[in-house]
Structure 1
Amino acid sequence: MLDFTWKVFSQTGNIDTYLLFKELEKANHEIPGMKEEELAELDYPIS
């Protein structure tokens, strides 16, 4: 999710997208030991 958000920001320059990226980045660091893929699975569980 971080990669996607950063890519959208880098292509558009949208400040709101950057702020979302920073929020996601902060949330990622608040859950130690979890990789981005594991966090993405929490958002979109694979059934």
Structure 2
Amino acid sequence: MLDFTWKVFSQTGNIDTYLLFKELEQETREIPENQEEELAQMDFPLS
């Protein structure tokens, strides 16, 4: 999805497409962190 969004932006120069690209890029970075936290909570439940 990132590649497609970047390609559309590079061909059109549309700022909204660039902002969408940056948002998707940020979400992609956050996913592994959230998964690690969930796994840690499964291994060591607080309650």
TM class by shorter-chain length?
0.5 to 0.7
Using the size of structure 2 for normalisation, the TM-score is 0.67
Alignment correspondent of 2:25 = 25
Larger Rg computed on CA atoms: 2
Structure 1 runs not aligned, ≥5 long: 34-47
Q: Secondary structure at the match of 1:5?
A: helix
Residue 8 in structure 1 maps to residue 8 in structure 2: yes
CA distance in 2, matches of 1:7, 1:32: 25
Q: Secondary structure at the match of 2:32?
A: coil
Structure 2 runs not aligned, ≥5 long: 34-47
CA distance in 2, matches of 1:20, 1:31: 17
CA distance in 2, matches of 1:12, 1:27: 23
Using the size of structure 1 for normalisation, the TM-score is 0.67
How many residues align? The count is: 33
Alignment correspondent of 2:45 = none
